[in-house]
Chain A
Amino acid sequence: MIQIDHLTKKFPNQKGLFDVSIQVDMGQIFGYLGPNGAGKSTTIRHLMGYMQPDTGKATINGYDCWEESDKIHSILGYVPGEIAFVEGMTAVDFLDAMAGMRNLKSNTRRKELIETFDLDMRVPIRKMSKGMKQKLAIINAFMHDPEVIILDEPSSGLDPLMQKTFVDLLHKEKSKGKTILISSHIFSELEDTADTIAIIRKGRIITVQELSLLKGEMAANRYEVEFYRQEDLQTIVHSGLVVQSHSGNKAVISVDREISEILEQISQYPIKALDIPRQRLEDVFMKYYYDEEA
């Protein structure tokens, strides 16, 4: 379990984290969302024990992230936001060194992951593409079967197929009861994975929401219907259906009753086009961004 309690860290440039509190439980995937420079990576640096908080504290499974980071690191997998490996090493050297530092004896999980992500280990690291390096970072983070996983913008550089593989891996780990935190500045990176999403802006948590509730907010609530004939549109306007607005041959109809009832009414007339504008997760979040701004 990851717990951050009223953590504050001020930098000389007025940026930093201000009274941040979040909690990630076992078996939960927690999305940490915010624009660039909002404080996502700073939060993760505290969890990793790279920075000491001014006030407040961060703990993982009860261990203090600054004082007892070595105990935490033995059960933790981490994909850093910056993809930079130690120079002059091959991928095998790198994984061997990391396994050695973790006192990891078994190679089984590593082999499985290399196969899953289809990574060519013979390519020297400096010749690897961004996506390949990201795969290597992911393999490194998961190869010791950690209980807690922290990922800083993990799917950047991965192609759509590999992103799907990665999402599957996260769901599998989640079902094993792992605690997972993913930070991202892209909504779609979290849409398929996270259970709960926290939004951070200018170092403060704006909101923490269940993704399922957000998805409810996103349900389609209006249809856009275009008729061939103006008369048909006029009939619909006076038919008892709630028409929010109309222009030309187009009408926007509220979904305020059984869907079949609406369809029955409009299908009496020839229809040129029917559109169900779906709100994207992104729009829901934009709302929070702007609300704060106002």
Chain B
Amino acid sequence: MNFSLYKAMMKGHGKFLFTCAFTGFLCLYLLVMTFPLLSDSQQFNDVIKSLPKSVMDAFGIQGNLTNAVEYMAMNFYNSIYLYLLMAYTILTACQLVSRFVDRGSMAYLLSTPVTRRKVINTQAAVLVTGLVVMCLFTYLGGYFGVLSFVNNSEFDLGVFTELNLIVMLIFLLIGSYSFLFSCIFDEEKTALGAGFGVTLLFYGLDMVSKLSEKLSWLKYCTIFTLYQPEKIIQGTYDTVSISLVLVVVSILIFAAASFIFQKRDLSL
């Protein structure tokens, strides 16, 4: 890792990061604001309960809206937040390596005494920093929302923290393979395509496996199976071991990406 490079990268990347992080913060904050309105509405609860069970499973809806965390999980952590994180993580992973290789500016970074290993590890560190900042902002958005609008009895901070941690680690894994693609491919658009392609495939498989009993075996083919907000809320989720697995696998993939980048020919 090289501090000068890290500083320069964070400065260049800062605007995009804060746009995304602030979006996350604001979305969740505003969403929590609507919670008291809906949780008191009998009509809304009836609509939810009238949905077919498979649809409710696919979207992680449990039909119980007295809990703020569950409300957030259903309306944010299972939908918009995933898309926001996907966009941020994959775009950033590609911008940090393959864009520089594609456009040729990597030549400058690699013409200094800083080794390739250090350059690539610094870029990985920038990606991880960005992801952590992004998740932290959103976490705080939810937390402040709850402080402002929700009764404490309807909110469990421990469960909420667990939920945020797991979603961050899932995206650490997504970030790691996107970074790997970014290190392998010469062209930015190939890396972007691979990153989004694989992630959306995982996401689609997860949806399908929940919609139909016959296709439920598909859940073994997607990483989103490890992400189950419902189970976290119910307390039947093995947070510690799943976190460990996610962290270890991500580190291994980052290490592979770094290794490949050090050994490959670069057309700069």
Q: Given A51-B266, A93-B8, A97-B8, do A70 and B114 touch, yes or no (CB 8 Å)? A: yes
Whether a CB of chain A sits under 8 angstroms from the CB of B214 is: no
Q: Chain A residues near B114: list those with CB within 8 A.
A: 70, 73, 101
Q: Mark B80-109, 1 if CB is under 8 A from A, else 0.
A: 000000000000000000001001110111
A292 at interface, CB cutoff 8 A: no
Given contacts A50-B266, A84-B104, A85-B105, contact A98 B112 (CB under 8 A): yes
**Cα distance, A48 to B116, chains bound together (Å):** 12
Provided the pairs A80-B108, A98-B112 are in contact, do residues A87 and B12 lie with their beta carbons within 8 angstroms?
A: yes
In the complex, the answer to whether A100 meets B268 with C-beta atoms within 8 Å is no
Distance (Å) between the CB of A271 and the closest chain B CB?
A: 56
Q: Give A42 Cβ to nearest chain B Cβ, in Å.
A: 9
* A259 within 8 Å of B (CB atoms): no
Asked if A38 lies at the interface with its beta carbon under 8 angstroms from chain B, I say: no
Please measure, in the bound complex, the distance between the C-alpha atom of A74 and the C-alpha atom of B7, giving whole angstroms. Answer: 20
Binding site for A on B (CB under 8 A): 2-5, 7-8, 11-13, 15, 100, 103-105, 107-116, 265-268
Chain B residues within an 8 Å CB radius of A94: 8, 108
A97 vs B116: C-alpha distance when bound (angstroms): 16
In the assembled complex, the Cα of A80 lies from the Cα of B111 at a distance in Å of 9
Interface size class of A (residues with CB under 8 A): 20 to 34
Return the CB mask of A22-59 against B: 1 if under 8 Å, else 0: 00000000000000000000000100111110000000
Q: Which of A108-159 contact B (CB under 8 A)?
A: 140
Is residue A102 within 8 Å, beta carbon to beta carbon, of the partner chain?
Answer: yes
How far is it, in angstroms, between the C-alpha of A103 and the C-alpha of B7 when the chains are bound?
A: 14
Q: Once the chains bind, are A50 and B265 in contact (CB under 8 Å)? A: yes
**A267 → chain B closest CB, angstroms:** 59
Residues from chain A with a CB closer than 8 A to the CB of B115 are 69-70
A28 to B198, CA, bound (A): 53
Bound form: Cα–Cα A83–B109 in Å: 13
